[in-house]
Structure 1
Amino acid sequence: MMKLSKIGLGIALALGLSMSAQAAEVEVLHYWTSGGEAKSVAELKKMLEAKGHTWKDFAVAGGGGESAMTVLKSRVVSGNPPAAAQIKGPSIQEWGEEGVLANIDGVATKEGWDKLLPKVVSDVMKHDGKYVAVPVNVHRVNWMWANPEVFKKADATVPTTWDEFFVAADKIKAAGMTAVAHGGQPWQDATTFESVVLGTQGPVFYNKAFVELDPKSLDSAQMVEALETFRKIKQYTDEGAPGRDWNLATSMIIKGEAGMQFMGDWAKGEFTAAGKKPGVDYICAAAPGTSKGFTFNIDSFVMFDLDNKDLAAGQNDLASTVLSPEFQEVFNLNKGSIPARLGSSMEKFDDCAKLSSKDFVESAKFDTLVPSMAHGMSTFSSTQGAIYDTVTEFYNNDKVTAKDAAAKMAKAVASATADL
């Protein structure tokens, strides 16, 4: 029996109605509408059509996917879902619970996806043990971007631990420069905070707090320590940080106005667009204390269960194409991310991507590959929002103690999960 708890009773009609689309016309909903992303979508379209299918583009711009998800829900409720849609993280499980996703285990088994993907990644792509989604890429979130000239002027060393970070930040600040380029927006606060948690407390604690949502971990001495470390970073930012967009913070690194930024590997696109080279004009390094860990953010496509065998064949071919070595390479070269497929050739990628791929493989082996809380990979949106609110309030209000913030986080998460 299909569950109808989240998206609406109208979904019940969706499975009973046939699609009006022509056979083998694969409609794909996505929100990749600019730059390298748009180029990559065009490449995927070309590859799918080479297999005899027709690609029907359904691009919804804006909102980091929020607008696309609103449109998708209305389409499914009206009984007219697309063949495929760009969805990620726990949202895959939400749609799976609705009973509207297609089982693509056939192509996954045939191509050996369980061996091509780290288990922590394949688990995200499955619902009730069956593949319903295919990963497009892997973004590493726990990056630190640095300007070598700023460090040289300050006679500072790029840090590998948080103790070293504060030594370097003090030197950069003393030299009259901004040590940390930051954008004071909730998601950026959370991006930095999760790297602090991973770097100070390790992957086991990170998983207990942000994946298992363990109350004792959320309200613990370890979380208090992480919060205190996180707040100390604020003194090394500039007055313009509140509300600043992430790309403007990256621009401060590019221009030599600041020494470091904590941001995912999409920031690399800003350096590339500015004609900067890794290892020469900028440094990419794991956030302090996280060199053996990896917080991931993965884009993926789910397939909807449609009563049309020709479309099912098209969906399987689309899934196969997405995980093919050829598409994984061209997409991630354009996007700045790395292939989700293990064993991919990194010959054409830059040094930052090669380091990311190496750490991705190593962290998968040693169970230090963890889903990003800040980017919607570890929790449902309501729980993520509860953490966001607590972290941002703590960061911006010095009257809130770390102990109080940890207790508040645990209560907020408990309340959010109780509603699920």
Structure 2
Amino acid sequence: MCAFKQPLTLRKTLLGLAVAGTLGATQAQAGDVEVLHWWTSGGEARAANVLKELVEEEGHHWEDFAVAGGGGETAMTVLKSRAMSGNPPSAAQIKGPEIQEWGDLGLLGSLDDVAESEGWDEKLPGVVANVMKHDGQYVAVPVNVHRVNWLWANPEVLEEAGVALPTTLDEMFAAGEAIREAGYVPLAHGGQAWQDATVFETVLLATAGNDFYRRTMVDLDPEALGSEQMIEALENFKRMRELMDDGMSGRDWNIATSMVISGKAAMQLMGDWAKGEFTAAGLEPGKDYLCAPAPGTEHSFTFNIDSLAMFRVSEEADQEAQHTLARLVLEPEFQKTFNLAKGSIPARPDLDMSEFDQCAQKSLEDFQRTADEGGLVPSMAHGMAVRSDVQGAIFDVVTNFFNSPDMSAEQAAQRMVSAAQAVM
């Protein structure tokens, strides 16, 4: 894997404050925990409220700091602004390499006392635990594990079009033609950069496989980024536009999900948080909607781990509130209730899954299987594979190519090489 410099933008804006130690205190009152997150859609908001209720039952006060935006970009902008002012929230939804970035600045508090007393090392898979640690210390707690490479479908629309749920990219393109002729949108999509990237990384996996995905989206190997395999993946990605409707620009992901729910669209490529919307609509998997690994990716599991990182606070009561929050996140009651509502699977694989639906049970089964087989890969689109500045550079190439009628796949591949080299 490439050795990266620390992200300049974040370090330049925050390092002075970190060195001065001005971020150690918060303005919250004793026993308060302010939580910044972007769980704002229907299913997500209900899931987040579960944790709020559990925290307040233990006598602490939860101050909700919800920032809308499915990919979290807006929330991260707000978080940096708050940190620059010396007043970060006491807990924030941060994930993947960004946890390391904040930890390198010395702004995160240790959760080792909670982790040791609660046995986190024994309860969490190694791949999950490692993401939560900075310099060997727990600084964050995992809320769940999302699978990103899911296909969601309306069975009535598929039946009307006379097609089966596709299992390969070729089958998906062929099904799209029949669905369009039947009067439906083949693939619901929202034209936002993170959603474009979600489709791109899924198509990349389907086209080139797990090892090539790691070489390009994790290791940023220039040779692989500019290769014929990448060009083929980009061409397949561009073909996905043929399955989408003209009104997709700026559409939020949950609005795209509602198109599948209402029968306006046949399918959606989206992480399993989409299942929260089906659940909130009172629909039953296998009957009212279908779930399956994205076409061509049945041997892959693209993971996205939601987590809460804890910023340093000075008041003892606020530290206790943070530790209570962290403990509650990994207790069976919250893991079960939250993930049933959210559509994801528990971060702890030791929990009873009997109350979870067939999609969640399939997800956990595939998570464990792909971990053994080598198909468990971090999602670039959802901040698990590379630093935020690298991700942003890839986003720019992907979404510009997807929306440009003139840019060739060869040009896009070369721009991806240049983007990766510029941030190395």
Instruction: Say yes or no: TM over 0.5.
Output: yes
Judge conservation of contact 2:43–2:277 (CA < 8 Å) in 1.
no
Name the CA shift for 1:97/1:166 in 2 (closer, same or farther; >3 Å).
same
- Residues of 1 paired with 2:178 and 2:350: CA distance? 41
Change (3 A) 1:256 1:83: closer
Q: Does 1:72 align with 2:79?
A: yes
Structure 1 residues without counterparts, runs of 5 or longer: none
The equivalent residue for 2:197 is 190
Query: How many residues get paired?
Result: 415
SS at match of 1:145: strand
Q: 1:259 is aligned with what amino acid?
A: A
In the aligned structure 2, how far is the partner of 1:319 from the partner of 1:212?
Answer: 32
Distance 1:332 1:358 in 2: 15
Inter-partner Cα distance in structure 1 for 2:250 and 2:32: 43
Of 101, 112, 117, 1:105 maps to 112
* Residues 70/183 of structure 1: CA separation in 2 closer, same or farther (3 Å cut): closer
State the distance in 1 between where 2:346 and 2:219 align.
Answer: 27
1:284/1:308 CA distance change after superposition, 3 Å = same
Structure 1 position 34, deviation (Å): 5.8
2 CA distance for matches of 1:186 and 1:110?
Answer: 41
- Secondary structure in 2 aligned to 1:7? helix
Tell me the percent identity: 55
The one of 364, 375, 379 equivalent to 1:368 is 375
Query: What is the CA–CA distance in structure 2 between the aligned matches of 1:9 and 1:199, rounded to whole Å?
Result: 44
Distance of aligned partners of 1:79 and 1:192 in 2 relative to their CA distance in 1, 3 Å threshold: closer
Output the CA distance in 1 between the equivalents of 2:391 and 2:88: 27
Q: Does the 8 A contact of 2:23 with 2:83 survive in 1?
A: no
Deviation at 1:84, TM superposition (A): 2.3
Contact 1:11–1:77, Cα closer than 8 Å, also in 2:
no
Counterpart amino acid of 1:351? Q
Q: CA deviation at 1:327?
A: 0.8
Matched AA of 1:54: H
**Residue 350 of structure 1, CA deviation:** 2.0
Residues 92-101 or 254-263, more deviating: 254-263
**Is 1:173 the counterpart of 2:180 in the alignment?**
yes
Letter paired with 1:358: E
Q: 2:281 aligns with which of 262, 270, 274?
A: 274
Instruction: Pick the aligned partner of 1:216 from 214, 218, 223.
Output: 223
The two structures, once aligned, show a CA RMSD in angstroms of 2.6
* Contact 1:13-1:77 within 8 A present in 2 as well: no
Q: 8 Å contact 1:10–1:77 — kept in the other structure?
A: yes
Partner of 1:294: 301
Unaligned 5+ residue runs, structure 2?
A: 1-9
Deviation, structure 1 residue 364: 2.4
Query: Per-residue deviation at 1:78?
Result: 4.1
1:200-279 → structure 2 map (5 Å cutoff): 200-279=207-286
1:62 aligns with 68
Q: What is the alpha-carbon distance in structure 2 between the residues aligned to residue 68 and residue 235 of structure 1?
A: 32
Following superposition, the deviation at residue 62 of structure 1 comes to 2.6
CA distance in 2, matches of 1:116, 1:178: 43
Q: Which amino acid aligns with 1:123?
A: N
Q: Which runs of 4+ in 1 moved over 6 A?
A: none
Deviation at 1:334, TM superposition (A): 1.9
Kindly indicate whether residue 144 of structure 2 is the aligned counterpart of residue 130 of structure 1: no
CA distance in 1, matches of 2:26, 2:234: 51
**Structure-2 change in CA distance of 1:207 and 1:404 (3 Å):** same
The one-letter code sitting in structure 2 at the alignment partner of 1:270 is E
Deviations 1:364-392 (A, max 9, x none): 23232222111222222222222122122
Per the alignment, do residues 100 and 16 of structure 1 end up closer, same or farther by CA in structure 2, a change over 3 Å counting?
closer
Distance 1:167 1:26 in 2: 51
Correspondences of 1:390-401 after superposition (within 5 Å):
390-401=397-408
Could you tell me which residue of structure 1 aligns to residue 331 of structure 2?
324
| Matched AA of 1:269 | G
Encode CA deviations 1:200-231: one digit per residue, 9 max, x unaligned. Answer: 21122111211121212211121111111112
